[in-house]
Structure 1
Amino acid sequence: MKVFPVNYVLEFEPIFKNFTFIGKEIITVECKDSVNTIIMHCAEIKIKSCRVINNDVIQKAVTKTDANKEELVITIKNKIKGCAFIEIEFTGDLNDRLLGFYRSQYKQNGKTKYLATTQFEAADARRAFPCWDEPEAKATFEISIIAENKFTAISNMPIMSKKRLKNKTLYKFAKTPIMSTYLIYLGVGEFEYLTGKIGKVQVRVITTKGNKSKGKYSLELGKKLLSSYEKYFGIKYPLPKLDLIAIPDFAAGAMENWGAITFRETILLYDPKTSSTRTKQYIAEVISHEIAHQWFGNLVTMKWWNDLWLNESFATFMATKFVDKFYPEWDLWNQFVDDAMNNAMALDSLKNTHPIDVKVNSTSEIREIFDAISYDKGGCVLRMLEHYVGESNFQKGLKKYLAGFKYKNAEGKDLWDAIGKISKMPVRSMVQTWLKQPGFPVVEIEKRDSILHLKQRRYVLESDKKSTKGLWFIPLSIGLQNELFQKLFTKKSMSVKLPKDNIGFVANFGRKGFYRVKYDEGTLIDLKMLIDQKQIPAIDRWAIQNDLFSLCVSGDETVRNYLDFSDAYYDEDSYLATVNVAHNLTSLYFRAFDEDFSDQIKNYTVKYLKKILHDLGWDPKKTDKHTDALMRGFVIFTLGKLNDEEVTIESENRYKQFLKNQNSLPPDLVEPVCSVMAWNGNSKTHAELTRLYRNAKTTEEKLRFLGAMCSFKDPKLLLKSLNFSQTSEVRSQNMQLPIMKVAGNPYGKKILWPWLKNNWPKLSKKVGRGNPLFNRIVASISSIADDSMEKEIRQFFKKNPTPGTERTQEQTLERIRINSKFLRNMRKEFS
């Protein structure tokens, strides 16, 4: 850059009458060479005036905006060099697309209210003010906001002064430290606060009026996390305050703006009376994730978006680590493996995946990589790395990295070098094999006497010669009850000797490595016995059947073999293996839903789920584990869909009670029971659920009824739910939910694709271009189509371009081919 920013003095005035805002800025810049044109980022903004000052000489500037390039070109007559000031006056729109500087609408006591808020990551600060909108263009910011007197204003820093201007107030905020534009925050609304302190730092939970009482849990947790992270990183939190802000309309789950973190209301507000166990856990994980970013991402920022994964996977990994410290009884690392590792492997076993470290050229490409590779696979790779170098070396390496790059920009290699230096291990060369190439390996093991013969290849679900290439540096761990040894497996094949008197072994012990294992037949028979006797840890009991199930999908194993193997889990007592076997059996049944052999699979599934429900019982008990609540809802919901008579009758009784008294059902059971009622219900049930949705007090409760409305068998009622999701009664941030739920309903398969085609223009308008929710809508098509529709789907997207979803479209079509092939294999196997 020839011209780079040093400081921005910014003033914003949102006008709610016509949803616009007025802005002024003075940017202090440093010109390295003599220039008479200056180019910066700018989108959807009208420039009213612009002048440039250099050595006390004022020049009026000619400005030109380019909407396609999202740029503002400033031209002056006489060249300038050194320090200069650019003064710009401009106006913009408070849009309703949930990005840039936007408006959010909500109801309070029946009245419609508005607030203004921002979402600038990845590249939308340019929609609020002309700037250099790239992570590396760090500067300091002095922000002022003019707001009507009934409103309060919030930004990254505390308020320094307030000044009355007739019916408005001018808020001036303290100057920020040096930071990137994507982390700036502006908020104007009728807010209320819960305030606390940790050391000298003020911590607040900010909500719309009437909601602050639900912020208690988040405030206490936020304070605890802040001081724990300070200790772990060895660096004090750099700002004087931290706000946790609940926003009614918000496309992302949460955003780590420095000192002013924004959240969806459902991810910050917790009400012990109405919130579910899952919500409480999710709130804790997300707050932890965003607070980790205050150091990792905000204090030290990536140079460019190809290292986005470092920010996100690191926050994902740390979030789990710290919530696990506070709530060991939640079994969070095991859930992380079932959730994050499964998600990441599902995406990464496609040919159309991408490497973690991915080239990003344009801003629309940035939005595409906020996915399970950047968050979940990255988190798994960090977990593998921590195990490889040891916890203490990992922490020391992080401290070194953060101290060395604070208030600056860094690249991935800077972190690997820091951890490598401390641990004296080949960290960079090991990690690069997981970052630079797409996919992950499967290790095939053959045991002959006491020698293991190992081979590695890339694991893909739709394989061809070309796609199985790749070589990884695998930290191979072998164990039984404890780890026996660890070796770095860096070649295509190798052999290792097992210790004497060995009664069996597990590879990828503790499932620390991001790879699958394919055992030979004899070893699997031994493992089945060890699982049955619980001679190996719970996480490995989970891993063995998890790999086996995936190998069924890729065609490397048979479904009958998996069903037979699942018998070993009949008395399973760990949540992790139990929930995964339950999910896998259920998914096999629904894949075979209309086939003549579906009953064979159904028998396994029902028997397994009935045993779990029998052990758990319907009603929460004082002695319940945290994960029991998560399990109970899933089992009731699934047995209902498997038409189990007892569950159907019990659900009906409880539903009738619930209609009379909403406190009669624990929050964890509301959606499962209502869904079972929908499954067996008619238009009367639909009307009841719609009424429950309308009368629900919180968004969390609304979403339960909306979810249940997608469980009907009658296609007419499913269409009614889909159409309802397009009305103003469902926020645009939630409208992907009914589409995903109907896609997962076997009775929704026929109707969803025609409905999507008809409603695509409306969906595009409501969700807005470049919105990450669009990728979820596109991905849901893989559950409802078979490979005979591939051509039609391709043509549809050619005629209806949806920028930012191109990669998801390819992944979706690949998944459709994989699912179709899997079903054909099952037909052959069971015929």
Structure 2
Amino acid sequence: AGGAPPPPALPGYLFVARRVRPHSLPRSESNGAPSGSAVLPAPAAMGPKAASGFYLGRKPAALLALLLAALLLALVVLAALYGRSLREVEALRAAAAPPSPPAGPEEEGAGCCPPSPSPGSTRPPGVWDNPRLPRALLPLHYELRLWPRVSPGQPGPFVFSGQVNITVRCAQDTATVLLHSSELELWGAAVRGPLPEGPGGGSSIEVAELWLAERQEYAVLELRRSLRAGERYVLQLSFRGPLNEDLDGLFLTRYTDQGQSSMLIASLLEPTYARTVYPCFDEPAMKATFNIIIVHHPSYVALSNMPAIDKSEMKDENGSLWTVTTFNTTLKMSTYITAFVVCDFDYVTRTERGNEIRIWGRKEAIKNGYADYALNITGPLFSFLEDLFNISYPLSKTGEVPSFH
């Protein structure tokens, strides 16, 4: 009686109204009668202070719980999709690498070795456990033949094969040869030497076993007798690998030109992807010169670090015709600098201080002049940098291919 009405209820909150008896109400100072409103006790008279914290009403708490449930569901869905994509990628890679190696000209005269051990095979500790190559053998020169087996309109899966002959100098006696190799099938391992100073191939050294040290990405050749320090030898291997669309190593990418779907084969070998294309000493300090040959479909053009010096034709085991493009010998360089392109691009060209500059691109883009600016600016840029650093560009040509990333 005479008390103030309780406050209006707010959504999501609970209020308790307490009836105050008249005799408990404080009297006014003027006449001692109860005042018209209840006077609450001072905070000190209300007991101990409540613990501090964060309080939510019913609706915000329900909304937060709903958001957490949605986030958990999204994480479960993403994990399931990621696992499915991994299984699909593994299936595609398995399909792209059938076990039987192809027959072809690069296999002629190549010997055979025992098959590589299964991934579960164990080996005693050895030089193959070191992440750095031993310095027993130093590469001098590579003879590399690369064959991307791709034709226009081919549905896939895509593979490439090849052969590499590596001339090495033996720095210390060894009966174990280590090369980098990753995701490649290897066969036909052979070693010849010591090489005479003049022409001649040297005698054959039997390879007792070829196996893979997968953890450090090595191909290990164990020989029947040791290589002698100070002598030169030739290591020969045939190989085969999948041509994926991962944008590293040797890969295939697709584009549209004049409304038609086309394919481009290119390489990106830095920092350590050369070993996924051909067996090699894949460390930057182990530089060598390269003679590169690319076998490709006649409707495509092949590009590499150096100018092409010869083109010929050959037939495969099925009678299909292929073009063989041979390139000039490179300067001494690291393996990751080797570059390969197979495409049906066109180009525009000019010469700057004796250096031939070619800008490659889709035929439609070249026809419409989209490469003209790059052509006109590249020459002056080279000249400016030559003058700035007082260093001449060491090669006779420069080729620029559009970014495929």
TM-score, with structure 2 as normaliser: 0.60
Q: Is 1:57 matched with 2:203?
A: yes
| 1:176 match | 330
Once the 2 structures are TM-superposed, how far is the Cα of residue 209 of structure 1 from its aligned partner? Answer: 2.4
Q: Aligned match of 1:8 in 138, 142, 150?
A: 142
Q: Is 1:224 matched with 2:380?
A: yes
Once the 2 structures are TM-superposed, how far is the Cα of residue 186 of structure 1 from its aligned partner? Answer: 0.4
| 2:185 match | 46
Q: Please provide the CA RMSD for this pair.
A: 1.2
| 2:256 match | 107
Q: Secondary structure at the match of 1:224?
A: helix
Q: Secondary structure at the match of 1:50?
A: strand
Q: Is 1:192 matched with 2:346?
A: yes
Once the 2 structures are TM-superposed, how far is the Cα of residue 217 of structure 1 from its aligned partner? Answer: 0.6
Once the 2 structures are TM-superposed, how far is the Cα of residue 35 of structure 1 from its aligned partner? Answer: 1.1
Q: Deviations over 1:66-111 (max 9, x none)?
A: 3331111111101112100001111011111110011111123443
The whole-number CA distance in structure 2 between the counterparts of 1:5 and 1:230 is: 31
The whole-number CA distance in structure 2 between the counterparts of 1:237 and 1:41 is: 31
Q: Aligned match of 1:204 in 352, 355, 358?
A: 358
- Amino acid in structure 2 at the alignment position of 1:38: V
Q: Is 1:69 matched with 2:208?
A: no
Change (3 A) 1:66 1:96: farther
Once the 2 structures are TM-superposed, how far is the Cα of residue 40 of structure 1 from its aligned partner? Answer: 1.5
Q: Is 1:88 matched with 2:261?
A: no
| 1:141 match | 290
Q: Within 5 Å, which residues of 2 pair with 1:124-135?
A: 124-135=273-284
Unaligned runs of 5+ in 1: 251-831
| 1:35 match | 174
- Amino acid in structure 1 at the alignment position of 2:336: Y
Q: Deviations over 1:678-705 (max 9, x none)?
A: xxxxxxxxxxxxxxxxxxxxxxxxxxxx
Asked if 2 retains the 8 angstrom alpha-carbon contact of 1:50 and 1:60, the reply is no
The whole-number CA distance in structure 2 between the counterparts of 1:144 and 1:3 is: 24
Q: Within 5 Å, which residues of 2 pair with 1:495-510?
A: none
Q: Deviations over 1:724-744 (max 9, x none)?
A: xxxxxxxxxxxxxxxxxxxxx
Q: Within 5 Å, which residues of 2 pair with 1:372-391?
A: none
Q: Deviations over 1:375-434 (max 9, x none)?
A: xxxxxxxxxxxxxxxxxxxxxxxxxxxxxxxxxxxxxxxxxxxxxxxxxxxxxxxxxxxx
The whole-number CA distance in structure 1 between the counterparts of 2:164 and 2:288 is: 14
Asked if 1 retains the 8 angstrom alpha-carbon contact of 2:258 and 2:364, the reply is no
Q: Deviations over 1:336-369 (max 9, x none)?
A: xxxxxxxxxxxxxxxxxxxxxxxxxxxxxxxxxx
The whole-number CA distance in structure 2 between the counterparts of 1:90 and 1:129 is: 7
Once the 2 structures are TM-superposed, how far is the Cα of residue 170 of structure 1 from its aligned partner? Answer: 0.6
| 1:159 match | 308
Q: Deviations over 1:7-63 (max 9, x none)?
A: 001000101243110111110001111111111111111002110001322124221
Once the 2 structures are TM-superposed, how far is the Cα of residue 115 of structure 1 from its aligned partner? Answer: 1.4
Q: Within 5 Å, which residues of 2 pair with 1:629-668?
A: none
The whole-number CA distance in structure 2 between the counterparts of 1:138 and 1:241 is: 21
If asked which structure has higher relative contact order (CA below 8 Å, sep 6+), I would say: 2
The whole-number CA distance in structure 2 between the counterparts of 1:11 and 1:79 is: 28
Q: Secondary structure at the match of 2:172?
A: strand
Q: Deviations over 1:570-615 (max 9, x none)?
A: xxxxxxxxxxxxxxxxxxxxxxxxxxxxxxxxxxxxxxxxxxxxxx
- Amino acid in structure 2 at the alignment position of 1:133: D
The whole-number CA distance in structure 2 between the counterparts of 1:50 and 1:40 is: 12
The whole-number CA distance in structure 1 between the counterparts of 2:356 and 2:333 is: 20
Q: Aligned match of 1:240 in 388, 393, 396?
A: 396
Aligned residues: 249
- Amino acid in structure 2 at the alignment position of 1:6: L
- Amino acid in structure 2 at the alignment position of 1:238: P
Q: Secondary structure at the match of 2:364?
A: coil
Asked if 2 retains the 8 angstrom alpha-carbon contact of 1:230 and 1:237, the reply is yes
Once the 2 structures are TM-superposed, how far is the Cα of residue 214 of structure 1 from its aligned partner? Answer: 0.8
Query: Which structure features the higher share of helix residues?
Result: 1
| 1:721 match | none
Change (3 A) 1:112 1:66: farther
- Amino acid in structure 2 at the alignment position of 1:204: R
Task: Work out the percentage of aligned pairs sharing the same amino acid.
Answer: 29
The whole-number CA distance in structure 2 between the counterparts of 1:155 and 1:135 is: 19
Asked if 1 retains the 8 angstrom alpha-carbon contact of 2:360 and 2:400, the reply is yes
Q: Secondary structure at the match of 1:210?
A: helix
Q: Deviations over 1:150-182 (max 9, x none)?
A: 000000000011112252111000000101111
Asked if 2 retains the 8 angstrom alpha-carbon contact of 1:44 and 1:67, the reply is no
The whole-number CA distance in structure 2 between the counterparts of 1:158 and 1:235 is: 21
The whole-number CA distance in structure 2 between the counterparts of 1:194 and 1:31 is: 45
The whole-number CA distance in structure 2 between the counterparts of 1:118 and 1:136 is: 20
- Amino acid in structure 2 at the alignment position of 1:51: A
Asked if 1 retains the 8 angstrom alpha-carbon contact of 2:166 and 2:235, the reply is yes
| 1:791 match | none
The whole-number CA distance in structure 1 between the counterparts of 2:149 and 2:206 is: 28
Q: Aligned match of 2:266 in 94, 117, 126?
A: 117
The whole-number CA distance in structure 1 between the counterparts of 2:283 and 2:221 is: 18
Q: Is 1:78 matched with 2:217?
A: no
Change (3 A) 1:152 1:79: same
The whole-number CA distance in structure 2 between the counterparts of 1:138 and 1:99 is: 21
The whole-number CA distance in structure 2 between the counterparts of 1:242 and 1:40 is: 31
Q: Deviations over 1:538-569 (max 9, x none)?
A: xxxxxxxxxxxxxxxxxxxxxxxxxxxxxxxx
Asked if 1 retains the 8 angstrom alpha-carbon contact of 2:189 and 2:237, the reply is yes
Q: Secondary structure at the match of 2:275?
A: helix
| 2:64 match | none
Asked if 2 retains the 8 angstrom alpha-carbon contact of 1:12 and 1:144, the reply is yes
The whole-number CA distance in structure 1 between the counterparts of 2:249 and 2:214 is: 15
The whole-number CA distance in structure 2 between the counterparts of 1:194 and 1:65 is: 45
Q: Secondary structure at the match of 1:98?
A: coil
The structure having more radius of gyration, on CA atoms, is: 2
Out of 68-77 and 184-193, give the one that drifted further: 68-77
Q: Within 5 Å, which residues of 2 pair with 1:548-697?
A: none
The whole-number CA distance in structure 1 between the counterparts of 2:214 and 2:261 is: 33
Asked if 2 retains the 8 angstrom alpha-carbon contact of 1:42 and 1:71, the reply is yes
Q: Deviations over 1:114-137 (max 9, x none)?
A: 111000111111110111111111
The whole-number CA distance in structure 1 between the counterparts of 2:351 and 2:176 is: 48
Once the 2 structures are TM-superposed, how far is the Cα of residue 235 of structure 1 from its aligned partner? Answer: 1.5
Once the 2 structures are TM-superposed, how far is the Cα of residue 200 of structure 1 from its aligned partner? Answer: 1.1
